[in-house]
Amino acid sequence: MSEIWESSATKIADEVRAGKLSAQEVLAVHLDRIDRLDSELNSISYLDVDAARQQAADIDAQVAAGSDPGVLAGVPVGVKELVSVAGWPDTEASLVYKDRVAKVTDSEVTRLRSAGAVIAGLTTAAEFGTVSFTNTPLNGITRNPWNLTRTPGGSSGGSAAAVAAGLFPICTGGDGGGSIRIPAAYSGLFGMKSTFGRVGRDPGPFPGSLVPVRGPMARTVRDAARYIDVVAGPTTCDPTSLPALAENYEHEVVSGAAADRLSGARVAFVSSFGFAASEPGPAAQAEEMAAVLIDALKLERVDLEINFPRVGSSWGILSTLNDMAWHSQDVKDHLDELSTVARMQYESFINLRPEIIAKSIRQRQGVLDAVSEVFSKVDILITPTTPKPALLAEGELMGELNGNQATLFDLSAPFTALFNQTGQPAASIPAGLVDGLPVGVQVVARRHEDLACFAAGAVLEELRPWPQLAPFAYS
């Protein structure tokens, strides 16, 4: 029999709902693991143990009284520290906000609690969510449980590390350029970026860049599907939020109905977008998984050579405008407290000229047009998630890629950020190991066709099962 901490979120919830497991026991096991193991990972920045214990006790009381606490009953959840929980630190992972306390609770967290999840604490993130590693002046370095010298990614790095190490069964994440998918690839997890607007945001600042998406860091496809079933839906302050789901993702995935719909779909695999390309190891692993998927679902393979416009500048500038709209007045007198990247972002913001902003808007339209052309020829696009395995834990702003010097964007995000600009659903699915480190395969579908990504993940999970936990989890 497996230990409680090895169990999936769905298994824990189903057993708590059935009275086979106590929510208080589940929480105690995970709190003990956090106490013993997180000093090496540094994946958790805040715990509210008393509140979590009270939530768990309330859930057990509901079960004892014959009530159903919800589909995530008793599942301990860590919340990425860029998301607000009333009464908890509201730091944006920055020293600038080290003493700020949240006044409101994000709708995502409210929906998780309503489904019976035990909201236990905050996981570390990149400052303002800006980079694909997790190392901040506020929290220090967060490490990858597959190899402590490597990063679990960012900006949802703490969530990824905690889930891969068995400290939490599932955690919240967010993806504005790959911040769910990159940590998933680096940490051996399933990471789902839903269609933009699928998970409505509120209260709090509206994402004017139109790229960030909320979602889970999960070990299994079913866990991620149940999570989205819980948190998806419109909110009053988010004009881009989509209507409630017409289907139950978990049921469609588990029943096989989602996979059945993909039979005969057109699919292309590429390991280069023209402006950046994967290293051979991750590309080979991803292409092998693509072949397994094509064969299993009887997909039609389409050969394409893709040369997308370089997305980095328009994505970066428009994202910087969005971030600094909320932070520039607060950080301008605290530049020495910022990470190098956050300081560069601020300096970029104050030096922006109108013509650069206008050019970025035009470049974004060029990206939309180019991707639309590709998806007129295919239904699904498959790529490596990242060009190489996890970077150093401290973070790298420049590094080597295919024998050449490359920026952090080209090292980690060229395959992911583009689909934040288009708003399409995309999943990172574990694809194997390269030099002992996990790598991922990315499956991208058209807007609103999130089930295609879940179906691909479920098929590969069955045919090429991946380790549910990193080796460090057993240390």
Task: Give the residue numbers marked as catalytic.
Answer: 80, 155, 179
Q: Which of 223, 271, 228 is nearest to 248 (CA)?
A: 228
DSSP-derived secondary structure for 122-175: EE---GGG-SSS-EETTTEE--BTTBTTB---SSSHHHHHHHHTTS-SEEEEEE
Distances (CA, A) of 209 to 4, 131, 139, 145, 155: 40, 16, 26, 32, 17
Q: Is 470 exposed, middle or buried (0-12, 13-18, 19+ CB in 10 A)?
A: buried
Residues 6+ apart with CB under 8 A from 227: 9, 72, 112, 170, 215, 216, 218
SS3 238: coil
Q: Is the CB of residue 133 less than 8 Å from the CB of residue 183? A: no
Q: Which residues pair with 135 in a beta bridge?
A: 141
Instruction: For residue 333, give both structure tokens.
Output: 């007198």
- Label each residue of 213-233 as H, E or C: EEEEEECCHHHHHHHHHHHCE
Q: Is the CB of residue 226 less than 8 Å from the CB of residue 192? A: no
